[in-house]
C-alpha cells in the first residue's frame, strides 16, 4: 500500500516534468488549431510560456541558493553576518518587486557601468533576490523547527557542527520547508510576469501584444490564464509529490 502510494508519487514527479516539457516545446501545435486571434499567435504564446518557465526555473535555482545562504546568515553566530542577512530580507520584502526590477534595469548600469545585463538576466537577478529573501525566511523557520534535542544528540556523539548540519538539520529543514517553498515557487512564476515592465517578452507581455493587435481581450486573456493555470498546477503537483516522497519516518 505504501509502495503503491510511492509509485504514484514517482509518476506525478515524472509526469509534471514531462508536462512542463510539453508546454515548453509542443504547446504551439494544439494552440495553432484554435481560431483567431489565438491560432495565428500560437508561436508567440508558446515562446512567451517558454520565457516565463525559464525565468521561473533559473530564478528558482538561484533563489534557493540565496535562501539557504540568507537563512544561514540570519542564524549566524557572527553579528555582522546576521545584520547583513536581516537587512537583505528586510529591504527585499519591504519594497515592491516592480521597483526592484526597475532598479536593477535602470540603476544598476549607473552604479556599475561595466556590467551589461540583458533584460532577461536583469529580471533573473531581481526575481532571484526577491524569491531568495522569502525563501530565507522559510528555510530559517525550517531549520529552527528541527528539534534541538537531535542536534544535541548528534553533537554528543562527536559529530562536527558541519556534519550535524548536513546529516541532521538540513535534511529535516528541507522537508519542513518544502510546502512553503513550493508556495514561493508558484508566487515566483506569477511574479515573473512583472518582467514585462523592462521588455522581457514573457507570457504576459505576449498577451498584451496579441490583444493590442487583435482587439479581442477576452479570448487572449482566457488563453494566457489557462496557460498560467497549467503551469502553476504542474508546480503544485510536483511539490506535493516530492513532499510525500520525502515524508519518511512519519506515520
Point out which residues bind another protein (CB under 8 A).
147, 149-150, 152-160, 163, 167-168, 171-172, 175, 248-251
The DSSP element (H or E) to which 1 belongs, if any, is none
Closest distance of CB 67 from another protein, Å: 20
Closest distance of CB 215 from another protein, Å: 57
Find all residues with CB under 8 Å of 42, minimum gap 6, and list them: 27, 28, 29, 31, 32, 34
Nearest CB to another protein, comparing residues 3 and 156:
156
Residue whose grid cell is 538576466: 121
Distance CA 143, CA 171 (A): 9
Closest distance of CB 163 from another protein, Å: 5
The closest alpha carbon to 97, from 18, 195, 172, belongs to: 195
Nearest CB to another protein, comparing residues 4 and 250:
250
Closest distance of CB 154 from another protein, Å: 7
Closest distance of CB 242 from another protein, Å: 15
Closest distance of CB 151 from another protein, Å: 9
Nearest CB to another protein, comparing residues 160 and 233:
160
Nearest CB to another protein, comparing residues 76 and 232:
76
> HEC profile for 77-92?
CCHHHHHHHHHHHHHH
Contact 47, 23 (CB under 8 A): no
Nearest CB to another protein, comparing residues 71 and 168:
168
Q: Taking CA 187 as the corner, what is the angle to CA 215 and CA 145, rounded to the nearest 5 degrees?
A: 170
Q: What stretches of the chain show up as alpha helix (H) in DSSP?
A: 2-26, 28-32, 42-74, 79-94, 97-102, 108-111, 119-145, 148-156, 161-164, 170-191, 203-214, 217-246
Nearest CB to another protein, comparing residues 33 and 148:
148
Contact 45, 28 (CB under 8 A): yes
Amino acid at each position: 500500500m505504501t509502495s503503491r502510494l510511492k509509485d504514484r508519487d514517482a509518476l506525478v514527479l515524472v509526469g509534471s516534468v514531462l508536462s512542463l516539457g510539453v508546454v515548453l516545446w509542443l504547446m504551439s501545435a494544439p494552440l495553432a488549431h484554435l481560431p483567431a486571434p489565438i491560432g495565428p499567435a500560437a508561436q508567440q504564446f508558446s515562446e512567451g510560456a517558454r520565457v516565463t518557465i525559464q525565468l521561473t526555473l533559473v530564478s528558482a535555482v538561484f533563489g534557493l541558493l540565496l535562501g539557504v545562504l540568507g537563512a544561514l546568515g540570519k542564524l549566524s553566530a557572527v553579528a555582522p553576518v546576521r545584520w547583513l542577512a536581516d537587512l537583505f530580507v528586510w529591504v527585499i520584502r519591504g519594497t515592491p518587486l516592480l521597483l526592484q526590477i526597475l532598479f536593477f534595469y535602470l540603476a544598476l548600469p549607473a552604479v556599475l557601468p561595466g556590467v551589461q545585463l540583458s533584460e532577461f538576466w536583469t529580471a533573473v537577478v531581481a526575481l532571484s533576490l526577491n524569491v531568495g529573501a522569502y525563501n530565507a525566511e522559510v528555510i530559517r523557520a525550517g531549520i529552527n523547527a528541527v528539534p534541538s534535542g537531535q542536534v544535541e544528540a548528534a553533537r554528543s556523539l562527536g559529530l562536527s557542527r558541519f556534519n550535524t548540519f548536513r546529516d541532521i538539520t538540513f535534511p529535516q529543514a528541507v522537508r519542513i520547508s518544502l510546502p512553503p517553498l513550493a508556495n514561493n515557487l508558484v508566487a515566483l512564476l506569477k511574479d515573473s510576469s512583472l518582467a514585462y515592465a523592462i521588455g522581457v517578452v514573457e507570457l504576459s507581455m505576449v498577451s498584451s501584444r496579441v490583444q493590442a493587435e487583435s482587439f479581442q481581450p477576452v479570448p487572449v486573456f482566457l488563453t494566457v490564464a489557462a496557460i498560467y493555470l497549467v503551469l502553476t498546477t504542474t508546480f503544485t503537483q510536483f511539490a506535493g509529490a516530492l513532499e510525500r516522497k520525502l515524508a519518511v519516518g512519519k506515520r
